[in-house]
Structure 1
């Protein structure tokens, strides 16, 4: 089941409708990171000027500025996948709707979360992912432990957030969470697949759209195993 869902999600990720969302979210991500990088480098420049480092040690000043700017660039590149998840979180309901409409045309469509709830959900998801990746950046130099902790944390986080986001289009959030726990082996296996993507440069930028497409398929298949038909709407 998981392999079939993954192949269907991969096909959807490169389809024209989801590609349009991908370019939009990547553009916003790069723009946000560029603004952060420019702001931090200007802050470093101001700090050096205010402490008269430039006048006293011009060569040291230039070297420190270059190293700081390069270090920030590397750090921001490392957390770019997490930031892309934060940005893409605002488009995931649209992506889920496309997947449902094209791959499950005979099923009743899901219902998008209210805008305020969707924004809070996206902020929570992106914030948690960012914290996990920042923590991983800190412990990355610890052999084995750093990578293992990064993978385990992301597998759990990604499986939880993407599945509940897909399931919440058809059932209340508490029921979506209960369903994830009932099928924890399957959802966690899907999360491991997504966590594996997160450690591959460039490929990790596809994680948000692939993740929601994957979990739409996983949820649809798991819902058919339930003893009663899945609810077609959500109480607000």
Structure 2
């Protein structure tokens, strides 16, 4: 796994990947501004008007918890775009990954696995759908964990674990779907859940580094291309009907 991470990191800095890197950074920065402004406005609305609406819906017994939540949200809204840029970066990289998945994977496969069958490019709609689903789920998880941010770091631990699971899941499935139907790729991810979550921790650490995390779509995709190749090599072989030779299931 460490070898895969080193190969992925070194390749994103190579000349063939630089064009993808700059385009990925540009798209990420644009999405950061759009999503961060949207988050700031949502938090500002909750801090001013949403508290009264929520108390009317939940009842007066929730007044104190809602006061505390509104106080936390007010701080977050005051930080505005900075908060959005930090906490929405995993969601942003999920969206960007859907755009560049095949370009990154093609470069990795050509350089490191030239003798093997190349993957099949994913339909853009499928890649973007997976990215949007992961981004929305990431935002939902983060909003749930947000009230715990100021309590002994529990929120940050939850953010990190959720990021590892979500990004590890997305990047691996994107890499696997270049060689397998979506249902089979998801089944493979479930069968290797512990390994993929551990690999997701590496991606979560990468995305937590300011500035460097703008390259997460390239690193995450390249890393999971290597992980998919390694896990495919471990899978049992099967005998195709009508043949005597054994072929690996890939």
Counterpart position of 1:221: 230
Counterpart position of 2:82: 74
Q: In 1, distance between residues paired with 2:38 and 2:156?
A: 30
Counterpart position of 1:145: 154
For the aligned residues, what is the CA RMSD?
2.6
Cα shift readout 1:190-234 (whole Å, capped 9, x = no counterpart)? 011111223222232222211111110011011111122134xxx
- The answer to whether structure 1 residue 230 and structure 2 residue 230 are counterparts is no
Q: Which runs of 5+ in 1 are unaligned?
A: 44-66, 232-236
Q: In 2, distance between residues paired with 1:41 and 1:23?
A: 27
Q: Which runs of 5+ in 2 are unaligned?
A: 43-74, 238-247
- The answer to whether structure 1 residue 162 and structure 2 residue 161 are counterparts is no
Q: Is the 8 A contact 1:81 1:205 kept in 2?
A: no
Instruction: Report the TM-score, using the length of structure 2 for normalisation.
Output: 0.73
**Distance 1:113-1:40 versus aligned 2 partners, 3 A rule:** closer
Q: In 2, distance between residues paired with 1:121 and 1:143?
A: 33
Q: How many residues in Structure 1 have an aligned counterpart in Structure 2?
A: 207
Q: In 2, distance between residues paired with 1:111 and 1:189?
A: 26
Instruction: Report the TM-score, using the length of structure 1 for normalisation.
Output: 0.77
Q: Is the 8 A contact 2:173 2:189 kept in 1?
A: yes
Task: Specify which structure has the bigger relative contact order, considering alpha-carbon pairs within 8 angstroms and separated by 6 or more residues.
Answer: 1
Q: Is the 8 A contact 2:169 2:196 kept in 1?
A: yes
Q: 2:188 aligns with which of 156, 164, 179?
A: 179
- The answer to whether structure 1 residue 105 and structure 2 residue 114 are counterparts is yes
